Amino acid sequence: MSGPVIVVVGAGPGVSGSVARRFAREGYDVGLLGTDEEQLDRLAGELEALGAAVERAVVDVTDTAATTAAVERCGRRAGRIDVLHFNPSAYRPADPLTLTVPELLEDVALGVGALLTAVQAARPFLSAGGRVTVTGSMAADEPSPAAASLGVQKAGVRNLVHSLDRTLAADGIRAVSVTVRGVLAREGAFTPDRVAEAIWAAAHQDEAAWASEVPYAG
């Protein structure tokens, strides 16, 4: 890795894959963390075809030690991380009367806690101009009772992004959550590629007017 670097946490075939390709087309090398080796290999091949150098790791991002090691490996290989993109969340079909506390905490560990792990691991490799981006969701404001933990995750991760942005801003590093106000689809305004474009734009917004949450409504 010799150019700018993006590390994508929770890499797969949806928004995260589109984000990886969007940045690769701009000359970024890419680190991929995900749970499905076949998907990672497929995505890595697409990125390499775009000219990106790729580092990939099959890892459960709720495993703090493994995630830390994987992010640090990406940072050491390039000597830098310019963008850390966080995508994971858990969809569990359980309403508030059937969702158990252990299930809720398990989901929050993925959808919120793993961001904390990834940022702490990436911090030594981030410098002024560095960015932390997160795939947010309207579930933070309009939770579905049928999947109660998702709303908690998305509200929590947005709150954490606000805190991260205020903490990192003094060093010229900014964080932003892109709140997707629609349902992902293969066509229309909410395709993964269009959401990725919104994430690219949010990462490159004017720092003098920086917003740590940016809505995407299509």
pLDDT digits (tens, 9 = 90+) for 65-95: 999 999 999 999 999 999 999 999 999 999 9
List the beta bridge partners of residue 214.
178
Q: Which CATH architecture has domain 5-216?
A: 3-Layer(aba) Sandwich (3.40)
The token pair at 148 is 């109660």
Do residues 153 and 107 lie in contact, with contact meaning Cβ atoms separated by under 8 Å? yes
Q: Between helices 148-168 and 114-122, what is the axis angle to 10°?
A: 20
pLDDT single digits (tens) 87-146: 999 999 999 999 999 999 999 999 999 999 999 999 999 999 999 999 999 999 999 999
Residue with tokens 């999947």: 147
Sequence-distant (≥ 6) Cβ neighbours of residue 169 within 8 angstroms: 210
C-alpha closest to that of 139 among 115, 165, 112: 112
Residues of the chain above pLDDT 70, percent = 99
Q: Coil, strand, or helix at residue 66?
A: helix
Q: Distances in Å between the alpha carbon of 15 and those of 76, 78, 104, 114?
A: 26, 24, 24, 18
Residues of the chain above pLDDT 90, percent = 94
Taking the CB of residue 68, how many other CB atoms lie within 10 A of it?
16
Would you say the pTM of this structure is higher than 0.85?
Answer: yes
Query: How does strand 54-58 pair with strand 131-137?
Result: unpaired
Q: Is the dihedral of CA 168, 10, 52, 50 positive or negative?
A: negative
Average pLDDT of the residues in 40-58: 97
The per-residue pLDDT for 185 is: 87
Taking the alpha carbons at both ends of the chain, their separation in whole angstroms is: 34
CA angle 136, 51, 131 (to 5 degrees): 30
Residue 1 has pLDDT above 70, yes or no: no
Q: Can you give the residue ranges of every domain in the chain?
A: 5-216
